[in-house]
């Protein structure tokens, strides 16, 4: 499970998990989930807010953007697990660096 707090105007960045399905649950805030078949075509866009969820199938390009004025708080569950048990990253930069290490 990954827990995120995305500040207003920020995003997680366009990404794709080839072999993982991803469940995203919005706990607080508002934004958009963008999905598509290629990195340059995120044509499926859904507005999200408190208590909403999205399922992103493996192999789907996607992004989450905070379009609101408050922090967007969410968690994400991957199947199968994406991160080793006990992993904690304090920042997105740490998470990005760790992703490139394994």
Class for domain 2-101, per CATH?
mainly beta
Q: How far is CA 12 from CA 34, 101, in A?
A: 11, 19
Q: Name which of 79, 83, 85 is nearest 98 in CA terms.
A: 83
pLDDT in tens, 75-102: 999 887 666 778 888 887 888 787 766 5
Q: What whole-number percentage of the chain has pLDDT above 70?
A: 94
């Amino acid at each position: 499970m990954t827990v995120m707090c995305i500040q207003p105007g920020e995003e997680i960045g366009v990404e794709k998990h080839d072999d993982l399905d991803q469940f995203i649950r919005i706990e607080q805030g508002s934004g958009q989930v963008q999905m598509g078949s290629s990195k340059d075509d995120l044509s499926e866009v859904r507005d999200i807010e408190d208590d909403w969820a999205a399922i992103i199938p493996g192999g789907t390009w996607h992004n989450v953007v905070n379009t609101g004025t408050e922090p967007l708080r969410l968690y994400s569950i991957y199947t199968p697990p994406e991160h080793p048990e006990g992993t904690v990253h304090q920042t997105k930069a740490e998470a990005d660096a760790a992703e490139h290490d394994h």
